[in-house]
Amino acid sequence: MSSNGEGSSKPTVSPTPTSAANGSSPAPQARGGLVPTNNVTTKDGSTVRTRIEPTLPVDDVIRQLCINLKLKDPPSMYALRDENDELVTNDNLRKKIKAKINLKLVSAPALEATEIVEKLILRDAKLGLALTSLRRYIREEQFAEEFLRRDGLAELINIINTTHGNTLAYALTAMQNLMELDRGWNDLDDEFILKIVQILSSKQSLINVCRPATAILKKLVEASPASTLTANLASSSRGPPAPPPDSVYRYGFEVVFEQMRKETRLLETVVERLGSADTTMALYSMMLINSLLANMTDARWDEFTTSLERLNVRKAVIRLMSSHTIEDLTSCILDFQANMMRVTYKEKTTPVEPEIEESHAAILKYIWSSSRISEDTSEVEVWRWRKLGFDSEDLTQEFRQVGLLGLHCLRYFVAKDPDYWAKVVQEQRSRPDERRCPIAKASNEVVDLLSEHWAIYSPGYSTTTTFQPFFLNFLKVHTLATQFFLRMWNESGASKNDFPRLVALTRSQVNVALRRENVRAWHEVEHDFSQCEYRAVRDRQMQELEMEDDIMSKIPMRNLRAKLYKESFDFVRQQRIHCLLDGAWFTNAIPVTSTAHRETVRRPNRPWRFMRLDNGLKYLHYVDATSKFPMKKGLEDLPERIDLSAVNEIATGTCAPYPGTARDIDVPTPGSPVAVSPLSFSLLTTSGTSLADQIAPDQSRWADWTDGLNMLRKDGGHVASKETEMFVQALTEIGLKIKLLDLTGERVDIPSGLATGAPPTSCDFFYSDLSYDPQA
């Protein structure tokens, strides 16, 4: 090998010593063209300009550097890092060499791991520096392997158990970064999980301690055996497999919640932090609640949701919606709404079984006793629930359409004003049977109407793109609407046969009162339900009926719409994910606003990026380029990748194009204010690090990718674009019309118009009487 890169056909590494400040000498020519030149700083502080052939393996580069620099230690004791301390590997060497990034010749990860573990054991004044280095290096596979082999994890856990303040924050951050790897933390015991719970439960914990502690607990919740199943569209597995040996997917909601039950202050403290003036504190608390909601199991579902309701978590989130710091929390609030949609749907589909569930029987007992109906021993017991407006005594059947949600709504309606409930029951019982309003039946109908209004059709993805504070107040809205129903019944002098008419009237008022939910005040909703007059509501409804067929409000049609809505959503979900599998070009961008949870700002080296999802739906592969070019199928031309399991949030409207990097996209002129692109999005980790900052070429591509990436998240996510929301609605309406026309079964050809013949030339004609001829 030639020291100057000439006279040899082999790839070269040729250093020439210079001062650290000097690096402007021209790069020498090598055979086949110009060999890139990089500054390499050695451990003694000297800097050399080095020509490195990009095709060389890193081990060969280090070996030749050691030879040329005449270093006595073997090459295995060294490694290369860039100026940001990122380890140079075979995967990123070519990119760093071509970008002429400054490099450092440092100790190998094995040596660094040994030194850091020794410092963790000593616990001397250098502990803080050791933890600072540890939290940077622990993400690297080579370092993590050596660190774990030397039992460094046990020392790190010991520090977490015995320290506080900034030292604890550094240790927790190092643990959080280790947990971004899918190995090495499979033997964390219940004692460690309880310690993390206790740290979060303490109201004295600092934000820099709560942030990594929240991320750790969130990671443990999501590391369940069920998470080993990839969200593959073609997956046919019927249940979560057992985790393989040494797998980190052995924790999950059950394991974490068992420790949360030992520290009852945790949920209370986390919910209180939603009202914190510190946006970051509120953000991380919101993230933890979302993770727990998205991963809760059926066994603990009732206990956990009951605890959250008792702590008024909905009210806390509604306050956040009107907060001035809402920009940082928008995504998390929409995630919470989506989770509450799933909770509401589960309640609605959970049958009421008083003979089996004691809690159901207790609620029904409370409702009955609050009605203050004296027991009449002369009446047969089977007529008991009919007195409250049910059609039968089979309560499982009576609540079949609305399930446990209907029971909870009726209980809230009673508990809101027990005297009003008892008064209404007694008033209706004093009327003739034909004129009585079936109160309980009316309550269930209102639940069904509200479910229809908020499209609570399936347990999957939420398609709303705006805040829905009225939905989070579901029980209160139900109470207002039920009171409206009863008032309309009285004002119209209705009888039992008028029940469907009153349901239609209430549906009309629900749509009016809950319109523009994200901008209207709550007092306006109360006014619309409590102050409107029957005649005005009826006149408006009649105008609506002139424009809409009444058949659409029938129960079978509502059920059909719910089924088609789910099918439409599944279709859109598949389409969005297939767009990710096809791949697309984006503009690399720079973040414009530095939010409280954004820790790093990435600047693009090249203007264009092509991204494509792998068939396993686990990684987003990409390549950066100076210009767009035709991309082949497959992943061979996409050397870089992003692990989607590390993506916690798809933030939108976060970036602006870097001036001068994209010619076919409007960019601000130098010196002008940088404007956020509405087609931008960022992939953020739990710690707030940005993995990618991109700008889509058009609105359609932006909707495909932001919603597609959200749909791949383990916690479900939310729709980011109006386009997807309207697409699902349009498909539902089209499917409904097709079903009504039965085009698929009868193959009916519907003409667009009727052809008429020419008129008669004169009036000299008559209509003959045709007699029936059986032989004709």
Q: What is the pLDDT of residues 334-372, one digit of tens each?
A: 889 989 999 999 999 999 999 999 999 999 999 999 998
Give dist(CA 293, CA 267) in Å, integer: 12
Q: Is the pLDDT of residue 226 over 80?
A: no
Q: Which two tokens stand for residue 270?
A: 């986390």
Backbone angles phi, psi at 428, to 5 degrees: -70, -35
pLDDT at 250 over 50: yes
Tokens of 302: 């009732």
* Rounded CA separation 700/721 (Å): 9
pLDDT at 178: 93
Q: Does residue 776 have a pLDDT over 70?
A: no
Using a 10 angstrom Cβ sphere, with 0-12 exposed, 13-18 middle and 19 or more buried, the burial of residue 88 is buried
Give the tens place of pLDDT for each residue, 373-383. 876 544 545 67
pLDDT confidence of 254, banded at 50, 70, 90? very high
Assign 21 a pLDDT band (cuts: 50, 70, 90). Answer: very low
Model confidence at 227, pLDDT cuts 50, 70, 90, reads low
| Alpha-carbon span 37 to 34, nearest angstrom | 9
Going by pLDDT thresholds of 50, 70 and 90, the confidence category of residue 332 is: confident
How far apart, in whole angstroms, are the C-alpha atoms of residue 528 and residue 620? 49
pLDDT of 574 strictly over 90: no
Q: Is the pLDDT of residue 547 over 70?
A: no
Share of the chain above pLDDT 90, in %: 34
Residues 738 and 12: their CA atoms lie apart, in Å, by 69
Please count the CA atoms within 13 angstroms of the CA of 564 that sit on its side-chain side: 21
**CB proximity list for 549: less than 8 A, separation 6 or greater:** none
Q: Of 541, 511, 545, 504, nearest to 528 (Cα)? A: 511
Q: Which of 583, 569, 568 is nearest to 705 (CA)?
A: 583
Q: Is 511 helix (H, G, I), strand (E, B) or coil?
A: helix
Give the residue with greater pLDDT, 17 vs 503: 503
Q: Which residue has the tokens 């994209």?
A: 662
Give the pLDDT of residue 465.
77
Percentage of the residues of the chain whose pLDDT score is greater than 70: 81
Which class would CATH give 13-107?
alpha beta
pLDDT, residue 524, reads: 93
Give the residue among 51, 74, 171 at the shortest CA–CA distance from 123. Answer: 171
Query: Mean pLDDT, to the nearest integer, of 94-122?
Result: 88
Q: Return d(Cα 80, Cα 59) in angstroms, integer.
A: 9
Query: What's the pLDDT tens digit per position in 24-47?
Result: 334 444 444 455 677 888 877 788
CA atoms within 13 A on the CB side of 652: 22
| Per-residue pLDDT at 172 | 95
Question: Cα–Cα distance between 387 and 156 in angstroms, integer?
Answer: 65
Label residue 549 by pLDDT band (50, 70, 90).
Answer: low
Triad 175, 274, 711: Cα angle to 5°: 65
The strand ranges marked E within 377-526 are: none
Q: Is the pLDDT assigned to residue 400 strictly greater than 90?
A: yes
How do 103-107 and 37-41 pair as beta strands? Answer: parallel
Give the per-residue pLDDT at 525.
93
Alpha carbons 251 and 196: distance in angstroms, whole number: 14
The secondary structure of residue 433, as a DSSP letter, is G
Instruction: Please give the average per-residue pLDDT across 324-338, as a whole number.
Output: 79
* pLDDT category of residue 551 using cuts at 50, 70 and 90: low
Domain 568-727 CATH class label: mainly beta
Q: Which residues are CB-neighbours of 604 under 8 A, at least 6 positions away?
A: 588, 589, 590, 624, 658, 661, 693
Could you list the beta-strand ranges (E) of 614-675: 619-625, 640-643, 649-652, 655-657
**Which of 52-56, 149-153, 193-197, 756-760 shows the lowest per-residue confidence on average (mean pLDDT)?**
756-760
pLDDT band at residue 594 under the 50/70/90 scheme = very low
| CA gap 638, 623 in Å, rounded | 5
The per-residue pLDDT for range 441-481, each reduced to its tens digit, is 999 999 999 998 998 877 666 677 789 999 999 999 999 99
Mean pLDDT across the stretch 139-148? Answer: 90
CA neighbor of 701 nearest in space, from 571, 576, 569: 576
**Mind listing the pLDDT tens digit for each residue in 179-212?**
988 888 988 999 999 999 999 998 777 888 998 9
CA Rg, the chain, in Å?
33
Q: Which single residue is written with the structure tokens 């081990």?
A: 59
Question: Which residues fall within 8 angstroms of residue 299, CB to CB, at 6 or more apart?
Answer: 254
Q: How confident is the model at residue 115 (pLDDT cuts 50, 70, 90)?
A: very high
Residue 274 has pLDDT above 80, yes or no: yes
State the pLDDT at residue 604.
Answer: 64
Binned at pLDDT 50, 70 and 90, residue 422 comes out as very high
Which H or E run includes 608?
strand 608-613
Please name which of 386, 370, 373 lies closest in space to residue 421, comparing C-alpha atoms. Answer: 370
Per-residue pLDDT at 435 exceeds 60: yes
Residue written as token pair 């947990």: 179
CA 308 to chain centre: 19
Cβ neighbours of residue 223 closer than 8 Å, sequence gap 6 or more = 248, 249, 250, 251, 252
H/E element, 15: strand 13-18
**Segment holding 317, helix H or strand E:** helix 313-321
Where along the chain do its domains lie?
Answer: 13-107, 369-553, 568-727
Measured CA to CA in angstroms, residue 722 lies from 338, 434, 464, 589 at distances of 15, 47, 8, 23
d(CA 714, CA 295): 9
What does the alpha-carbon distance between residue 572 and residue 460 come to, in Å, rounded to a whole number?
Answer: 12
Mean model confidence pLDDT for the chain: 81
Structure tokens at 670: 């130098």
Is the separation of the CB atoms in 725 and 705 below 8 Å?
A: no
Which residues 6+ apart lie within 8 Å of 733 measured at CB? none
408 φ, ψ (degrees, to nearest 5): -65, -40
